[in-house]
Structure 1
Amino acid sequence: MNLYKNTFRFYDLIATDFDNDDLKFYENFLRSKNSKVLEVGCGTGRVSIWLANHGYSVVGLDLSEEMLGVFKKK
């Protein structure tokens, strides 16, 4: 069952309400910029894109092709 099949268009509208404190948590958790990250359930890429923009090597996976479509457009 794909919960985002019909709602993927709205996910980023909701995600803008996040305070993004989790992004610094992930960065602090990683040992170095040489760390490789696999984000399972990456959705539209909020975390993956942020980490990639900060120098990490990131691979994102998601079951929702619709969410990945939004990710790829970003």
Structure 2
Amino acid sequence: MAELVKDVMTPGVVAVRPGASLVEVAQLMRSQNIGDVVVADGQRVVGLLTDRDITVRAVAEGTDPLAVSAGSVCTPDT
């Protein structure tokens, strides 16, 4: 029997502000046991940030995760 999405998904949505540092976001992901967050400016969605985005777009490039913001690394909402 196939599982339903509701049976494997994380309930609720976790959002961060665009100015949050990648360290803040990574710590939130760890504490919530999630791999992505919505980046939002108030009620406006800016984009989606995944743990892979943090790894590939920031850490692998040698940037300082304390100095880089979620808004600058997230996949933009188009």
Which category of TM-score, normalised to the shorter sequence, fits these structures? under 0.3
Work out which of the two has the higher radius of gyration on C-alpha atoms and give 1 or 2: 2
TM-score, L = length of structure 2: 0.26
The structure whose residues are more often helix, as a share, is 1
The structure whose residues are more often strand, as a share, is 2
